[in-house]
């Protein structure tokens, strides 16, 4: 053990989760990485151990499976192996419609990006509160300010959940941060077959900036963390604009994406 604390990162084998895992390992924190693909997890763990000389534990778990979520919650509750930082990051994009004939993708998204976040946040919050310190980060999105399908609804839930958890844990030494990035180049859009070729360069945020801003905002006890000045301005507009304007903008973005 490194002695610098332990972070559990869901979806720690790719994209934003991998960038968090790498940054935390560089600070000397041991890791517990959670994802479905065991081979990717093992390869990621091997690289991080070799580069940063930290302990890396892996848990193969599909967070759409409630028994698997329970296993991860039990790991967070294990007082013999305390977890100091939880990064509730695993997630995926969706193209299916709310009125489509098959809502299974939407239901799976709620399991992974709402229910698992709730169960793991609760387990971590209880354990961290009893120790008097800890940090919980939940991956929301600027999409949570918009009205772009089930994904926006889920990310709005993550934002409000994070604020509510922060209220419940205030004064306990445990911080809660909702990270709300704009578009980040990861496997996310390709996996969901979302065509981003028309997205202007200014629409993207660098993955390392997302991680650096979030880690800095944890230190500042900021509950809503929005990486990049550009997206902070866009989010401020979105938060204060009339909801009718937000709905029209959301419809235009969806139409452009689906052309």
Ligand X SMILES: NC(=O)c1ccc[n+]([C@@H]2O[C@H](COP(=O)([O-])OP(=O)(O)OC[C@H]3O[C@@H](n4cnc5c(N)ncnc54)[C@H](OP(=O)(O)O)[C@@H]3O)[C@@H](O)[C@H]2O)c1
- Selected range binding ligand X among 46-54, 87-95, 236-244, 249-257, rule: CB under 6 A: 87-95
Distance in Å, CB of 151 to ligand X, minimum: 7
Nearer to ligand X, 187 or 195 (CB): 187
Of the residues 43, 107, 187, 195, which one makes contact with ligand X according to CB under 6 A: 187
Binding mask 42-61 for ligand X (x = CB under 6 A): -------------------x
Distance in Å, CB of 139 to ligand X, minimum: 4
Active site residue 151: yes
SS3 per-residue string spanning the chain: CCCCCEEEEECCCCHHHHHHHHHHHHCCCEEEEEECCHHHHHHHHHHHHHHHCCCEEEEECCCCCHHHHHHHHHHHHCCCCCCCEEEECCCCCCCCCCCCCCCHHHHHHHHHHHHHHHHHHHHHHHHHHHHCCEEEEEECCHHHHCCCHHHHHHHHHHHHHHHHHHHHHCCCCEEEEEECCCEECCCHHHHCCCCCCCCCHHHEECHHHHHHHHHHHHHCCCCEECCCHHHHHHHHHHHHCCHHHHHHHHHHHHHHHHC
> Which residue of the set 151, 161, 183, 231 is catalytic?
151
Of the residues 17, 125, 134, 149, which one makes contact with ligand X according to CB under 6 A: 17
Of the residues 112, 128, 135, 246, which one makes contact with ligand X according to CB under 6 A: 112
Nearer to ligand X, 170 or 187 (CB): 187
> Contacts with ligand X in 121-140 (CB under 6 A)?
139
Distance in Å, CB of 65 to ligand X, minimum: 8
Yes or no: say if 196 and 150 are a contact pair by the CB < 8 Å rule: no
Distance in Å, CB of 49 to ligand X, minimum: 18
Residues annotated as catalytic (active site), given as ranges: 151
Point out which residues bind ligand X (CB under 6 A). 10-11, 13-17, 35-37, 40, 61-64, 89-92, 112-113, 139, 141, 181, 183-184, 186-188, 191
């Amino acid at each position: 053990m490194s002695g610098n604390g332990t972070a559990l990162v869901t979806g720690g084998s790719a994209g934003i989760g991998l960038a968090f895992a790498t940054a935390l390992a560089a600070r000397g924190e041991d890791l517990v990485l959670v994802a479905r693909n065991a081979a990717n997890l093992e390869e990621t763990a091997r690289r991080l151990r070799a580069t940063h000389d930290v302990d890396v534990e892996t848990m193969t778990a599909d967070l759409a499976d409630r028994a698997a979520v329970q296993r991860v919650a039990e790991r967070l509750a294990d007082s013999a192996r305390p977890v100091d930082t939880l990064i509730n990051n695993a997630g995926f994009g969706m193209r299916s419609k709310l009125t489509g004939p098959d809502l299974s993708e939407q239901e799976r998204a709620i399991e992974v990006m709402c229910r698992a976040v709730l169960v793991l946040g609760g387990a971590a919050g209880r354990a961290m509160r009893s120790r008097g310190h800890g940090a919980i980060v939940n991956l929301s999105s600027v999409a949570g300010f918009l009205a772009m399908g089930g994904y926006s609804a889920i990310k709005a839930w993550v934002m409000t959940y994070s604020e509510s958890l922060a209220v419940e844990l205030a004064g306990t030494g445990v911080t809660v941060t909702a990270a709300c990035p704009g578009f980040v180049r990861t496997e996310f859009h390709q996996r969901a077959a979302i065509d981003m070729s028309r997205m202007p360069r200014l629409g993207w945020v660098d993955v390392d900036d997302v991680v650096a801003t979030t880690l800095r905002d944890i230190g500042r006890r900021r509950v809503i963390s929005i990486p990049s000045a550009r997206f902070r301005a866009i989010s401020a507009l979105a938060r204060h604009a009339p909801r009718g304007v937000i709905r029209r903008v959301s419809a235009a973005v969806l139409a452009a994406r689906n052309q």
